[in-house]
Structure 1
Amino acid sequence: MPLFRNAQFEISIAKPQDLPPPRGAEIAFAGRSNAGKSSAINTLVGHTRLAFVSKTPGRTQLINIFRMTNGAALVDLPGYGYAQVPEAIRKQWVRLLEQYLTQRKNLIGLVLIMDSRRPLTKLDCQMLDWFAPSGRPIHVLLTKSDKLTRSEGAQTLAQTKKALPAWGDNITVQLFSSLKKIGADEAEQVVGSWLDDENRVIFPD
């Protein structure tokens, strides 16, 4: 059975202090608003409505935890970078993201969603700045790759690969398309290797 299939919604969190105690390995999904994060999660789990998808950026305002059958969890973080929200809410999102990414003990890796048509924005780089020093793996999904020609996709992938070592050598990247179901197997293989690493501490129930 594929790794992500049968993941189930568990809880939504608005404030860091409301996070449940560490229970199992967590894999975070982060990305700029409207980069296709929720669609990517839905594609990986094989469920069209597990993570909420909206054409309006900035709708994911909570940390949403989805539990997999092996006890690990996928954690959908609030989309970042959407300007048309009140400043107080934007600051709350930033605090929520930063505290989770830097302090969550059972977070073993980050899947970073970037729109393949404009990867490595300033806020994407800020996310890398926050998380890369932890030494934990990062896997970049260049989403909406179906909107690029094959040569454009290859060029974008090569350019992003060239830039990422600035944040360390524990970062991988691939093209991804939720619409065309491109790259799901590759993403599952990479993330699965994080869970298979015997040196990683998996918190018991």
Structure 2
Amino acid sequence: MRIKQSEFITSAVKREQYPLDNRVEVAFVGRSNVGKSSIINSLTNRKKLAKVSQTPGKTRLVNFFLINNDFYLVDLPGYGYAKVSKSEKGSWGKTVETYLTDREQLKRVVLLVDSRHKPTGDDIIMNEWFKHFGYNVVIVATKSDKLTKNELKKSENVIKETLKLSTEDKLYFFSSLNRNGSDELINNLFLEFATDLD
């Protein structure tokens, strides 16, 4: 499939602020500095669709982007940034948990991890949290252009071991910089939810 159209629809904190049209939702989440906005912009081929902040942890809202007038890509607030206060961390947890709890439209969660580093304790907790809620989870390791082929293989092994991924769990590597494999990743993440496959 091709992403021909992408537009920001709304930002939300409370459940009543979410879109009400029952379109399928695919949510992206990861650490504050994992490159979440960059990958969203790269996959949609829109430089400024998701705001790239120089200050990690700035996104506090659940952002909804309509893709091909067909389904939503949902940008969840980044986690794990050390300079965020306890009250802000608590607010983040409540915002995300509110969205994840009984959200029937949410059909897949894309958990972003940094391919250069071992997944953190927060990454492990998030992966377990999504599985606890019964969601289909796909792991995407970002910034893969920074690694050699040998390093990529090592990274793959470390991520699989740390997150306790099974053979059925899906793991992809991606670089927003060179966009290698972007078409394949788009198909793997979104194709089954799209009605327009051109």
RMSD: 2.1
Q: How far apart, CA to CA, are the structure 2 residues paired with 1:22 and 1:104? A: 13
User: Partner residue of 1:181?
Assistant: 179
Which ranges in structure 2 are unaligned for 5 or more consecutive residues?
Answer: none
User: Partner residue of 1:124?
Assistant: 123
> What's the offset of the Cα at 1:182?
2.3
Instruction: Give the share of equivalent positions with the same residue, in percent.
Output: 39
User: Partner residue of 2:63?
Assistant: 64
Q: How far apart, CA to CA, are the structure 2 residues paired with 1:167 and 1:141? A: 13
Q: Deviations over 1:138-160 (max 9, x none)?
A: 11110011111121012212332
> What's the offset of the Cα at 1:32?
0.5
| TM-score when normalising by structure 1 | 0.86
Q: How far apart, CA to CA, are the structure 2 residues paired with 1:193 and 1:69? A: 12
> What's the offset of the Cα at 1:128?
1.0
| TM-score when normalising by structure 2 | 0.89
Q: Is 1:48–2:43 an aligned residue pair?
A: no
User: Partner residue of 1:13?
Assistant: 12
Q: How far apart, CA to CA, are the structure 2 residues paired with 1:170 and 1:109? A: 15
> Helix, strand or coil for the counterpart of 2:101?
helix
User: Partner residue of 1:110?
Assistant: 109
Q: How does 1:140-179 map to 2 (within 5 A)?
A: 140-164=139-163, 166=164, 171-179=169-177
Q: How far apart, CA to CA, are the structure 1 residues paired with 2:122 and 2:52? A: 21
- In the alignment of these two chains, the number of paired residues is 195
Q: Is the 8 A contact 1:135 1:170 kept in 2?
A: no
- When residues 65 and 177 of structure 1 are mapped into structure 2, their CA distance, relative to the original with a 3 A threshold, is same
Which ranges in structure 1 are unaligned for 5 or more consecutive residues?
Answer: 198-205
> What's the offset of the Cα at 1:167?
5.9
Q: Is the 8 A contact 2:70 2:194 kept in 1?
A: no
Read off the aligned partner of 1:187 and give its amino acid letter.
L
Read off the aligned partner of 1:104 and give its amino acid letter.
R
Q: Is the 8 A contact 2:7 2:66 kept in 1?
A: yes
Q: Is the 8 A contact 2:124 2:162 kept in 1?
A: no
Q: Is 1:85–2:77 an aligned residue pair?
A: no
> What's the offset of the Cα at 1:168?
5.7
> Helix, strand or coil for the counterpart of 2:28?
strand
